[in-house]
Amino acid sequence: MQYILVDIAERQHFYPFTLTQSLASCRVGIFTFKERWEQYTHENCGVYTVPYLQTLYEDNEFLHSSESLFFINVACIPSEKLMKSINSLNEGEKLMTAGGKWIATKTKERKISKILLAEKPPIIMEEVSLVLNQLQLLSCHSKLIERDFKWVVSQSKSEPIDPSNKVINKDNIFIEKGASVLCSNLNASEGYIYIGNESLVMEGSSIRGSFVLGKKGVIKMNTSIYGSTTIGPYCLAGGEIKNSILMGYSNKGHEGYLGDSIIGHWCNLGAGTCNSNIKNTAGDIQMWNEFKGEWENVGQKMGMLVGDYSRFAIQSSINTGSYIGVSANIFGNGLLPKYIPNFTWGVIAGYQLDKAIEDINNWKKLKGFAITEAEKQVLRHLYQLNHH
């Protein structure tokens, strides 16, 4: 293992998703950040994150080795040009953007401060694409789907599209082996459509690209999906969805609207749940920034950010520009609060840790999984932070 993906310098800008995992594991488009980097490095990349999350990543031998390694800012979007610049680094050299963002270092050091600072003057690299924060995951979404789709097409051949479907621009549609898509409308005139391995698109669904359906994902009957949308692996989707990301293992299985939103892993939106993505006044939206601890302007259109393991009761009405933390069990009348912290019960604090872990495990069992000891440790750490 020569390449280590580092999120420590950037992760606080991606809350709530990086509270429970490294940015390397977050999915935008067909692939996670880690999977995308591995396509360029041609090897399994290590992950270097904060201590309480490091236990989730088993390839930790590099932390105790003394060999020279390439440490890379995982928030960078990989390219052949960038990979060439990284590989040409000598011991103690680092790459930075003209604006002062750290890109990569080659070093034997393991202390994060020494990796980021490096001993030699930085080599400046222009034209590097970085995802700066969680809201940019939405704004760069369609470009990443396009990039990922072209990579998939370069590696393999699509399965034939069943003639029961109504198809526009079939060259921009890719169907993996084991997927079932019947009696649906697939319009790839404005963006690419990717249907993942062993996934299911039920009859009557209408999909406009750009769109990604991950492995074993399910689109229920008569679902309406607008680009750019990613429904990650093992997700269930129904109703109306626009410009949104479900990172993986989450459900929005029933009628209701989801727009301009990012949903983490193992979340559930009850039947009839809808979010607002524009104010009645069409004015600017204020959204909670968990890292800065303040409200900030996020523009005219924004739905919600939902951390891993959070769930909404049926008929939940979610306010414009809502920030939802990790492991919240949400129910309440009328428009819900715009800021719902970690371990909320209803709309107030009080979700007990043991109960939260038990409930998460129940949800995982529904998809054939179980909560791991490492995931429990992460939740304990976050719970203790919340209850200081």
Residue 146 confidence (pLDDT) above 90: yes
Query: DSSP string spanning 80-101?
Result: HHHHHHHHTPPTT-EEE-TTS-
Q: What is the third-level CATH fold of 137-386?
A: UDP N-Acetylglucosamine Acyltransferase; domain 1 (2.160.10)
From CA 86, how far away is CA 107, in angstroms rounded?
A: 12
Cβ atoms 200, 218 nearer than 8 A: yes
Question: In this model, does residue 387 exceed pLDDT 80?
Answer: no
Contact (Cβ atoms closer than 8 angstroms) between residue 230 and residue 141 = yes
The answer on pLDDT for 119 being more than 80 is no
- pTM, rounded to two decimals: 0.96
- Run of H or E residues at 357: helix 353-366
pLDDT at 345 over 80: yes
Average model confidence (pLDDT) for the chain? 95
Reduce the DSSP state of residue 229 to 3 states and report it. Answer: strand
Q: How confident is residue 1, by pLDDT bands cut at 50, 70 and 90?
A: low
What residues does each domain of the chain span?
A: 3-132, 137-386
Over residues 34-62, the pLDDT tens digits come to: 999 999 999 999 999 999 999 999 877 78
For strand 245-248 and strand 262-265, is the pairing parallel, antiparallel, or unpaired? parallel
Residue/partner pairs of 113-119 with CB below 8 Å, 24 or more apart: 115/6, 115/71, 116/9, 118/92, 118/93, 118/94, 119/92
| String of DSSP letters for 26-92 | -EETTEEHHHHHHHHHSSPPEEE--HHHHTT----GGGG--S-EEEEETTBPP-HHHHHHHHTPPTT
Q: Mutual orientation of helices 80-87 and 33-41 as an angle, nearest 10°?
A: 70
Containing H/E element for 365?
helix 353-366
pLDDT at position 152 is 97
The answer to whether the CB of 275 falls within 8 A of the CB of 261 is yes
pLDDT at 266 (0 to 100):
98
If you average pLDDT over residues 314-335, what whole number do you get?
A: 97
